[in-house]
């Protein structure tokens, strides 16, 4: 069991308390299912639809890419019950499995038991969230939630009663959404909003560092910015919508040529999606420019020996260029090499997921309604 620590950091002329949640990167769902010989059949039966999380409706839709594997530990209840959760800036709800759940995914994970918490209170509401490969349903309740040394009282959260089959193969138990209240399913107040309203953080910001190559050290910092994780200066980009962490993207270029997002588009900075996702035609063009071909499962594969000769890709965000090398957008495994550029259907909305975020320390600034990015140290 991982223990939480509060890390004290000097901020300008006085000491502020920054709360760091270490994230763990384990084997991806894809790797585990491949080892069991289940991946190819699963992908045929449940095609991945990353854009489903951005479909607006009565309930907030979200997805969890089958390759996502960053998670941290939180606790819920009195005495505390611990759960691993994905910190997702592309959604706004907190939910974990419960003892009321009959799905296999719940049997493979820790389950919250309300009868063991003296501070639990049923909210009298249901919860339903659509995934790209299924859905979760459950109920809403209130309880004490602890995240990285911060204790949030009366936090509303979901207790799952059913979960999509692919969750059975994931390491994380649930999801902790870090987007805006406006997209929260059933109107549930997000965890970070309660941190702000209960004056539990020194600043209305949180920041994220995602390590690469399976290395440890990934972290979410609630209430501040840790300059140890980045080099140079932070570049701030204003939000174009207070729903997701949405910003303007001007173009995507390779070798000085505009290959996608011609004339501008909208993009989401999303820790809850592993790939960089865009419209099918744009993604096909990007994959063509980097020399990728499509295999029988619709994946963009490249020759692993060509990695050193593949071009950089530049994303221009509100007039600022952010460039990632081939080593960042190509993933290597015992099964070969593939790009991290995923099809998003006909939607013009882009998702800059973990493939992008691993290259840049990301600051999510609620007070000034902006996202800050700087190269990782």
Known catalytic residues are 88, 270
For residue 87, give the nearest of 4, 19, 188, 175 by alpha carbon: 175
**226 contacts 184 by C-beta, under 8 angstroms:** no
Beta bridge pairs of residue 294 = 300
Backbone angles phi, psi at 256, to 5 degrees: 80, 0
| Other beta carbons within 10 Å of 306 | 14
Instruction: Evaluate the CA torsion angle 226, 231, 235, 237 in order and state its sign.
Output: negative
- Give the H or E element holding residue 163: none
Check residue 191 and report its DSSP letter.
Answer: H
Q: What is the DSSP letter of 69?
A: -
Closest CA to 152 of 199, 85, 214: 199
Tell me the β-bridge partners of 257.
254
Q: Contacts for 255-264 with beta carbons within 8 Å, 24 or more apart?
A: 255/289, 255/311, 257/289, 259/285, 259/286, 259/289, 260/285, 260/286, 261/350
């Amino acid at each position: 069991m991982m223990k939480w620590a509060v890390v004290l950091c000097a901020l300008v002329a006085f000491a502020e308390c920054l709360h760091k949640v270490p994230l763990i990167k384990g084997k991806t769902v894809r790797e585990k299912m491949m080892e069991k010989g289940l991946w190819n059949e699963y992908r045929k039966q449940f095609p991945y639809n990353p854009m489903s999380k951005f479909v607006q409706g009565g309930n907030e839709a979200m997805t969890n890419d089958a390759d996502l594997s960053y998670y941290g530990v939180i606790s819920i209840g009195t005495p505390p019950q611990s759960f691993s959760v994905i910190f997702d800036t592309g959604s706004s709800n907190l939910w974990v499995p419960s003892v009321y759940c009959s799905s296999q995914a719940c049997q493979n994970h820790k389950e919250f038991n309300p009868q063991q918490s003296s501070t639990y209170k049923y909210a009298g509401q249901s919860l339903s969230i659509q995934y790209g490969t299924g859905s979760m349903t459950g109920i809403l309740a209130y309880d004490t939630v602890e995240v990285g040394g911060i204790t949030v009282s009366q936090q509303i959260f979901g207790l799952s009663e059913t979960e999509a089959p692919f969750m059975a193969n994931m390491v994380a138990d649930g999801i902790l959404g870090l987007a805006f209240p406006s997209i929260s399913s059933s109107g549930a107040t997000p965890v970070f909003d309660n941190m702000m309203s209960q004056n539990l953080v020194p600043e209305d910001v949180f920041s994220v560092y995602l390590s690469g190559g399976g290395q440890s050290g990934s972290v979410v910092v609630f209430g501040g910015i840790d300059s140890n994780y980045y080099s140079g200066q932070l570049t701030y980009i204003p939000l174009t919508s207070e729903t997701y962490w949405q910003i303007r993207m001007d173009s995507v270029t390779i070798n000085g040529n505009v290959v996608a997002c011609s004339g501008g588009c909208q993009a989401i900075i999303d820790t809850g999606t592993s790939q960089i996702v865009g419209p099918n035609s744009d993604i096909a063009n990007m994959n063509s420019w980097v020399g990728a071909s499509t295999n029988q499962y619709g994946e963009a594969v490249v020759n692993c020996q060509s990695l050193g000769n593949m071009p950089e890709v530049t994303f221009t965000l509100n007039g600022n260029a952010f460039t990632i090398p081939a080593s960042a957008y190509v993933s290597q495994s015992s099964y070969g090499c593939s790009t991290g550029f995923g099809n998003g259907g006909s939607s013009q909305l882009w998702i800059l997921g973990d493939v992008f975020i691993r290259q840049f320390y990301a600051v999510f600034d609620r007070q000034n309604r902006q996202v800050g990015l700087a190269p990782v140290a």
